[in-house]
Each structure stands twice: as structure tokens, then as C-alpha cells.
Structure 1
Amino acid sequence: MKKTLLTLLALTLIMSIGFSFTLGLSVSTLNNPFFVALKDGAVEKAEELNIDLIVADARDNPAKQLNDIEDMIQRKVDLIIINPTDSDAIASSVEEANDANIPVITVDRGSNGGKVLLHIASDNIAGGAMAAEFIAEKLNQKGKVIELVGIPGTSAARDRGAGFDQGISKYKDIKVVARQTANFNRAEGLVVMENLLQSNPDVNAVFAQNDEMALGAIEALKSAGKLKNVVVVGFDAVPDAVKSVQNKEMAATIAQQPEKMGGLAVTKAVEYLNTMTVYFPVDLKLVK
């Protein structure tokens, strides 16, 4: 116990003294308030720890993200934090960083290849299941549901969809009548929902894998005069979505903490660069 305490005190001292590091942060898009919050959390923590942070906006373009990360590698940053646009496409960038001996941390979305030091994310499967349970309760376990899917290839879309599909499949009288991609985008969510309403005018609920698509769907439902009869659930709890819930338009949104995720990524990056280890405390339990 004494040895563990001394180790933790030493780690705290190292963190407080700090060394001069440069980190790269590649964000999938800054056209989405969730990822803006993630970036802001990282920037705030970097300033607190006196760390240089290079931020690049991939603009939802996998090719641009690859170029951004190549630039960070050329600049010989000490560690790269990546929020992938595409979990498959990003693998080559992770491998390139591996070859350059630059550690990689992924945030919110994972990589389907390469060696990652650690992955920081919410439990998207559990979040999807939570949305399913809420919708089932609101529909009294009977009705028709549309699912708006995020960017194909991202771990967030895959996991949120898996959690929702597993959860909703428990209810034999609830049918998912359509699943269509709207790429985590509000404008696409609006257009896709307008089209789906043509073939599914009697839909009872919508699960959107992020709030931007949910907000787009709400606009489509408003225009069709159907919003009062449709339960809409989003994911992320961005400010516009929280306001929509308060205004009784969106029924619910699954809350994440993007600022905390961004800050934690920077904290763990600095911890690793200082100590070559990553410390995650496990809650203690009093037995009596």
C-alpha cells in the first residue's frame, strides 16, 4: 500500500512539473457541436498542462484526415490523438504513426487496424440499447420505427446501431420499417426523413444515431405535420438537442461528455509520455 502511494505521489509530481510535449489532435469534423466540444475539452486541458496541441479538422473527409496525420508525423509530434472519420480508412494512418514510433490514442471512434495505446469512448452499445428501451416504453411496446444511421465504417455508428437493434428486437410488436444512412449530418437527416415519410407515413418513432440527424428528422416531421405523433430520440446531448427536448420536440437524447473525453485524452497522453505507462484507477470496495 505504501509503495503504491509513493508511486502515485511520484506520478503527481511528474505531472505537475511537466515536460514540453507537442500533441496532434485530428478531429473528424468541427461542423458538429459534439466534436467542437471534444476539441474544446482537449484544448482546455492542454493549456492547463502547458502542452502544445496541434488541431486539424478533417471535415468528414477520410483523405484529408490521412493528409493531416501525415503532416503531424512529419512534424514529429510526440503523440497523436485521433477522432476518426472512418474506422477502416484510419487504420493506415495509425500504422504509419506506429512505424514512426509515435503513440496513438483514439477518441469516440476506434480504429480497425494498427496499434492504439488506448481508446477513450462512451459505451455506444449501451447507449443504443438505452434508446431502444425508451422508445419501447413510449410506444407501449408496439409500433413502427425508423432508424437513421451514421457514417458507415465508424465504430460509433456500428456500436450504436448494434445496441439499438439488439434492444428493440426484444419487442415482437415493434418493427423497424427502415434503416437509412444520413451520415451524422443534419441536412441529410432532413432529406432522408422526408423521403422515408413518403413510404412510411404511419411511423411512430425515430432513432437517430446522433443529434444532428435527429434534429434534421424533426424538421421533416414538422413540415409534414407529424411531429406530435412521432417519438424522436437522438444521441450526444448537444446544446441544440437539449433545447429541443426542453421544447418538447425531441423526446430524448443519450448524453455523452465530449469535453471530458477530449480532456481525458490529453491527460492520458501526457501521463504516458512522462511515465511510459497509463494509470487507470479501479474503484475500491469496503467489505464489512
Structure 2
Amino acid sequence: MKKLTTLLSVALLGATMSSGAYAKDTLALVISTLNNPFFVTMKEGAEKKAAELGYNLIVLDSQNDPAKELSNVEDLSVRGAKVLLINPTDSDAVTNAIRLANRAKLPVITLDRAASRGDVVSHIASDNVAGGLMAGDFIAQQVGENAKVIQLEGIAGTSAARERGEGFKQSIAKHGFELLASQPADFDRTKGLNVMENLLAGNAGVQAVFAQNDEMALGALRALQAANKKDVLIVGFDGTQDGIKAVQGGRLSATIAQQPDAIGAIAVETADKILKGETVEQHIPVPLQVISK
């Protein structure tokens, strides 16, 4: 009996050592900000897929600060991450962080916002140009050709702001819109409110607003409500929970819906393929759709 007990103890110890010997690989997600529902949902999508595939996932918040972003990537060099998933604070500024990862032989995947330079294995994002054009098409359908419009832009220097603006610019030419004003509000709800208030002072005849994300759209909504301009059509972008809720409640006219959870999940799946030595696409598009009431 004593011999059997000893054998069982050895077997259990061996099993424990065996399971500990095969530690999970670690992935890192460096995200521009977690003070935005869109990126929180992206993080949650990545976390869910990482758990499903058996990876540890380190999540670091750059707080919309390129210096913090670089510090986050430097930190990963001692944390054993095998792949870097990064949602850039700025497409140009992120270059230093990506080159740091390149020197460390750490494969890089960009999410939602592209990087201007540096070696990136794969970029996962919606077609922002197509989304900007879709927003303009919706405005034309609802208000008509030659509508008087205002655009609230995102953070200057991000690929998302640049590409969404390019798509909307195409819709302006396509539908003959009169662009009364176009000004950055940095993807922020409070700034969207303040900028919209200022723009309304000289553009009382506005018929529609395109905000390059839902946060700015919701800020613009408050400014328009305060000015008693309830007939102005507002189109946001991202399809966040707050944005969709506002559309369903009839307060926003539409949102161009991304799938941030899918972007996060696909990024982890792509990292998994890279670690298995499989070939991945350089650009992986995630579908968009117009959500309206």
C-alpha cells in the first residue's frame, strides 16, 4: 500500500511538472486608449479569443500618448511577448515603437489604425475610405443632393481620420454637398460638443453632420439639441453600443458600424497563425454596415 501511495505521488508530481513545463505563450495588445468604448470592445474581443486559443494576453493602455505607447512597447521586451498587437495613437508617431519591436524580432500586427513606417506583418481594419463614402451616400439619400454639411474630424495624423475624411471628400464631390466646415474634435465626445457649438455660430444653415466616430457624433447631438436644431441629420462612425442605442432611440440618424470585437479577435487569430509559421494576409479587411432606424 505504501509503495502504491509513493507511485501515485510520483505520478501526480510528474503530471504537475509536465503541465507547468508547457506554459502558455504570451501576446501583447498595446491600445491607443481605454477611455473610448470602441477600443474597450476591441480589447474584449481580443481577450475572449486569446482565452479560447490558450494564450496569455497582456493589455497596455497608451492613454493617447505616443511617449506612453513607446514606453509600453519597451516594457514588453522583458515580459516575454511573442507577438505585438498594436492600435497606434498616431500613424506617424507609432513608427518608433514598431521599429523597437522590429529590432527585438517581435512580429507586429496593427489594428484599426495603420502605421506610416516600420515592418508590419498584417494590418486589420475596416475600409475607412468606404465608410466615409457610405456616410455621404446615406446623407444624400436622406437630405438630398447639394446638402449643406459639417464634418467633425478625428485625431490628426491617424490613418482612421485621414481615410474616413478621404471617403467623405469623395461623397462631397459625388453628391455636390456644400461643406460649410470641417474641424478636428479628436474622436472625443466633449470636444465634439464644444467644436459643434462653435461651428453652429457661423453655420446656422447646416442640414447634416458627419462625425468620424460615434463619440463626436454624440457630442454634436448635445450641441444641436441645445441650439434647438432637431432637424439636422447626424451620422457617426464605429457602431459603438452608445452610438447604436442613440440610433435606435431616434437621436442619431445612423452610424457606420465597424466590428471592434471582430478586429480584436481576428488579430489574435492572425498572431496564432504567425506563431504556427502560417502565411497571413498583409491587409485583412473587416466588413462595415450602415445602422439606421
Fold match (TM-score > 0.5): yes
User: For residue 216 of structure 1, what is the aligned residue in structure 2?
Assistant: 219
1:189 pairs with one of 175, 188, 192: 192
Computing the radius of gyration from Cα coordinates, the structure with the larger value is: 2
- Count of equivalent residues: 262
Which one of the candidate residues 113, 119, 138 is aligned to 2:117?
A: 113
1:150 aligns with 2:154: yes
* 2:87 matches 1:83: yes
**CA deviation after TM superposition for structure 1 residue 220, in Å:** 0.4
Q: Which moved more, 1:62-71 or 1:119-128?
A: 62-71
> Are the aligned partners of 1:29 and 1:59 in contact in 2 as well (CA < 8 Å)?
yes
CA deviation map 1:187-231 (0-9, x unaligned): 0000000000011111111000000000000000000100x2201
| 1:149–1:157 contact (8 Å) kept in structure 2 | yes
The percentage of aligned residue pairs carrying the same residue is 53
Cα deviation, 1:57-103, whole Å, max 9, x if unaligned, reads 11111111111111112324111000001000001111111111000
Contact kept, 8 Å, 2:73 with 2:100, in 1: the verdict is: no
Over aligned residues, Cα RMSD in angstroms?
1.6
SS at match of 2:204: coil
Corresponding residue of 2:272: 270
Distance apart, 1:271 and its partner CA: 1.3
- Name the counterpart of 1:53: 57
1:202 aligns with 2:220: no
Give the AA of the match of 1:104. V
C-alpha distance after superposition, 1:150-193 (max 9, x if no partner): 00111100100000111121223x20110100000000000000
The alpha-carbon deviation at position 20 of structure 1 amounts to: 2.9
SS at match of 2:228: coil
| Cα distance in 2 between the residues matched to 1:197 and 1:142 | 19
Instruction: State the alpha-carbon separation in 1 of the partners of residues 168 and 78 from structure 2.
Output: 41
Matched, 1:231 2:233: yes
CA distance in 2, matches of 1:19, 1:42: 19
Does 2:101 align with 1:97?
A: yes
- Determine the C-alpha separation between the residues in 2 that align with 1:133 and 1:278: 33
**2:102 and 2:80 mapped to 1: Cα distance?**
12
Q: Tell me the TM-score normalized by structure 1.
A: 0.88
Counterpart mapping for 1:157-168 below 5 A: 157-168=161-172
**Displacement of 1:276 after TM fit?**
4.7
**Equivalent position of 2:72 in the other structure:** 68
Q: Which runs of 5+ in 2 are unaligned?
A: 1-21, 285-293
Aligned residue in 1 for 2:181: 178
d(CA) in 2 for partners of 1:189, 1:70: 33
Secondary structure in 2 aligned to 1:43? helix
Shift of 1:129: 0.3
